[in-house]
Amino acid sequence: MKNIAVILSGCGNRDGSELQETLGLLLAIDRQGWHYQCFAPEGFFEVVPHVDIVDDEEEAGAVVDIEQRDIFVESARIARGNILPLADYRAADYDALAMPGGMGAARNLSTFAFDGPQMTVIDSVTDALLDTNRAKKPILAMCIAPTVLAKTFGKLGISLTLGSDDNPAAQVAKGFGCNVVACGPTDICVDEEHRIITTPAYMVATHISQIFDGAANMVNRLAEWL
C-alpha cells in the first residue's frame, strides 16, 4: 500500500486548509487504495471570519479583537484527530507529499498573503519539501499552495499552475523562476523532471464537483509514477 503525507494549514478556506479541496484530495488517495497521513506545523495564526457580515462597530472603525488559534489543533479537526507534527515528517517513510489549498498555505505555511514576492516559507514546510525532493519523491499541490513550491523550488525552473498565468500569484511565481502554465479547473500541470503535479482548484473553479475531479486527476496521474 502506498503511503501519502498530506500537509494541512488549519481549518477553513480563508485562514487554513480549504475543506473541499482537502476532502477531495483525501478521497482521491483513498480510492486508489492508498493510506494517507495528515501533518501540520505547530504555531498560532490569526482567525479570519468566514461569515460575510459587516459589523456596524467595525465598519465605524472600532478596534476588533483578533482571535488566535493553533494551526496543529485546527488541522486536527479535518483529520479527525489523526494528525502528526510536521517536524516529525520524514520523506523516507512516504511515497509522496501533498498540499491542499486554502489561504492557510499563504498565511500560515508561508507569508505570501502578507509579503508577496518577499514571502518566506516556515522552516518545517521548507524542510519537508526539500527532504521529499532530495528523495526524488513526488509533490502535489492545489490552488494557492503552489506558491509555496514556487518559493522553495523556483530556482530549479519548476513548472506549476495557479489557474491563470497572469494573476498576481502567477506573477510572483514567475519572478521566482517558475514556468507557470494556465490550466482550467480540473486540469493538472505535470512537471516530469521535478516530479511535481499541481491543479488550480478554487483559483478558477466554481463548483465543488470540479474540485473533486481536479484532485482525482492529480492523484490518478501520481499513480503512474508510483
**Grid cell 502506498 — which residue?**
2
Compute the distance between CA of residue 78 and CA of residue 142 in angstroms, rounded to an integer.
17
Alpha-carbon radius of gyration of the chain: 17
Torsion 214-216-217-222 (CA) sign? positive
Q: Is 143 a catalytic residue?
A: yes
Compute the distance between CA of residue 96 and CA of residue 221 in angstroms, rounded to an integer.
12
Beta bridge partners of 190: 197
Amino acid at position 40, single letter: A
**DSSP alpha helix (H) spans, 34-175:** 56-59, 71-78, 104-107, 112-115, 123-134, 146-153, 168-175
The catalytically annotated residue of 143, 178, 183, 189 is: 143
Q: Which residues are catalytic?
A: 143
